[in-house]
Amino acid sequence: MFQDHDDFATEPVKGLPEAPPEGEVILWQGRPDWKALTWASLSLPWVIGYFVVLCIWRVFVSAQVLPIGQAVGTAVPLAIVGALAVGLLCLIGWYQAKNTVYTVTNMRVAMRIGAALTMTLNLPFRQIGTAALQPGWRGTGTIAFDTLGTSKVSYLMLWPHMQPWHIRKPRPALRCIPDAANVAGLIAEAAETRLAMPEVARREAPASAAAAVAAE
């Protein structure tokens, strides 16, 4: 399901480690909105709230023994640390989004993910049980997939491209993408068409039967 991918190798097709086979057509490509990804996956609201509470508490305590102007000044170092923390999280979110390419074809969903170690996750439609759309921040949305079979994908390898809190059975997800509703409809239509196509299995004839045919 996973394929290693060299960051410095030239991709034959953007977002895919190899050219699609004959008959496979790319229907959509995109990546997460980095602001929405940072907000949703890196707990940015909680971090901001934490430092705001710390600054307010610092000012309140200092105001008991100092003039209000000086009391406010005592919170400046905490505010600077908080700003640096938020900036670092934004940088991580931006870099994660920049190195991600989601691809939907008429046969599968492919996810080129990873910042330090880039890899590609292929999800053929026949291995997807259900897909759930969750509206997100500022018009974005997340499409999570419940995969079939016994193969499991590591939660840490997927992060942050998965549905939160599904740790025992991680659910890969197109995270925080713009126009998610239309992409979900495209996936549903492509999957329905693909699953309606019969698969023809080619089997080798038994050796005895092949010998009999040759004898005739």
Please report, in tens digits, the pLDDT of each residue of the chain (216 residues total).
Answer: 544 444 445 667 888 888 888 889 999 999 999 999 999 888 899 999 999 999 999 999 999 888 988 989 999 999 999 999 999 999 999 999 999 999 999 999 999 998 778 888 999 999 898 899 998 877 899 999 998 875 667 788 888 999 888 888 889 999 999 999 999 999 999 998 888 766 655 555 455 544 443 444
DSSP for 104-135 reads EESSEEEEEE-SSS-EEEEEEGGGEEEEEEEE
The CATH architecture that domain 2-18+102-196 belongs to is Roll (2.30)
Could you tell me if 96 and 44 are in contact, meaning their C-beta atoms sit under 8 angstroms apart? no
Rounded distance between C-alpha atoms, residue 110 and residue 17, angstroms: 10
- Burial label for 134, CB within 10 Å (0-12, 13-18, 19+), is middle
Global confidence as pTM: 0.80
What's residue 201's pLDDT? 53
What's residue 62's pLDDT? 92
What's residue 202's pLDDT? 54
Could you tell me if 85 and 51 are in contact, meaning their C-beta atoms sit under 8 angstroms apart? yes
Rounded distance between C-alpha atoms, residue 16 and residue 104, angstroms: 11
Q: What strands, in cross-sheet order, belong to the sheet with 140-147?
A: 128-135, 140-147, 173-178
